[in-house]
């Protein structure tokens, strides 16, 4: 699943994960989990994430290589927010070749920049369990799952979001060009509309 920050990859990825009955590996979620756990990888990734920069390719390829070799991934999987550079796409190709797995589709969700800034500046996440929620105007609300404190994601302030969009255009959009040139099945989905409308477009696009 590809698309700019805030395009709805996570939202649609969760729906796809449930409807296909396969695991979803979201590199952003894995990195944030590592950061909350205080692991070495999480601490090293933090400065890149907070600045809206990409975490180095070798770290990301290590995460994905490990995830895809596990039993969980045997019957298929959804990759969310990966690959984000041409080097990651090439690395993924090598991992899939080694495992004898075929890439079915590259799903590309697009949303215009102003909508993205609006969506991300009104998102809150739980500082304990990481769940994301739409802002309902109650700044003192607590997490409905674990009771933790709700905060803005560190990289969701307008300035960092604008920088993430620049990074997306410079480093991730070329991945789509690379996949198209390689003859991969790229499914383009308009990400503007209700979550249900986009869910239906995704399903129609990939044919499920």
Among positions 9, 24, 35, 201, the unique one binding ligand AP5 when judged by CB under 6 A:
9
Cβ(190)–Cβ(205) below 8 Å: no
Spell out the alpha helix ranges (H) of the chain.
9-20, 27-37, 40-50, 57-69, 86-99, 113-121, 158-167, 173-181, 195-206
Within a 13 Å sphere around the CA of 70, how many CA atoms are in the beta-carbon half?
Answer: 12
Residues sharing a CB contact under 8 Å with residue 81, sequence separation 6 or more, in sequence order: 1, 2, 9, 10, 26, 27, 28
- Which is the catalytic residue, given 84, 119, 199, 201? 84
Among positions 15, 82, 150, 165, the unique one binding ligand AP5 when judged by CB under 6 A:
82
Sign of CA dihedral 141, 145, 150, 156: negative
Residues 17-76 that bind ligand AP5 (CB under 6 A): 27-28, 31, 48-49, 52-55, 60
Residues 89-118 that bind ligand AP5 (CB under 6 A): none
Among positions 15, 198, 201, 202, the unique one binding ligand AP5 when judged by CB under 6 A:
198
Say whether residue 77 binds ligand AP5 (CB under 6 A).
no
Residues in contact with ligand AP5 by CB under 6 A are 3, 5-11, 27-28, 31, 48-49, 52-55, 60, 81-82, 84, 88, 119-120, 123, 132, 134, 155, 164, 193-195, 198
Catalytic positions, written as ranges: 9, 84, 123, 153, 164
């Amino acid at each position: 699943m590809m698309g700019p920050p805030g395009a709805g990859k996570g939202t649609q990825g969760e729906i796809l994960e449930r409807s296909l009955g396969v695991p979803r590996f979201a590199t952003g979620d894995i990195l944030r989990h590592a950061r909350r756990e205080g692991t070495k990888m999480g601490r090293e990734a933090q400065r890149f994430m907070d600045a809206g920069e990409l975490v180095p390719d070798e770290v990301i390829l290590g995460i994905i290589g490990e995830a895809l070799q596990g039993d969980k991934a045997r019957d298929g999987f959804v990759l969310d927010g990966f690959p984000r550079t041409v080097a990651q796409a090439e690395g993924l190709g090598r991992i899939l070749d080694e495992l004898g797995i075929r890439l079915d589709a590259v799903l590309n969700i697009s949303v215009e920049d102003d909508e993205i800034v609006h969506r991300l500046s009104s998102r809150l996440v739980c500082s304990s369990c990481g769940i994301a929620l739409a802002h309902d105007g109650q700044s003192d609300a607590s997490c409905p799952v674990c009771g933790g404190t709700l905060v803005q994601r560190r990289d969701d302030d307008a300035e960092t979001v604008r920088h993430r969009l620049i990074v997306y255009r410079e480093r991730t959009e070329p991945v789509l060009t690379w996949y198209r040139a390689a003859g991969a099945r790229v499914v383009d989905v308009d990400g503007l509309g209700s979550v249900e409308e986009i869910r239906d477009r995704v399903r129609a696009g990939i044919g499920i």
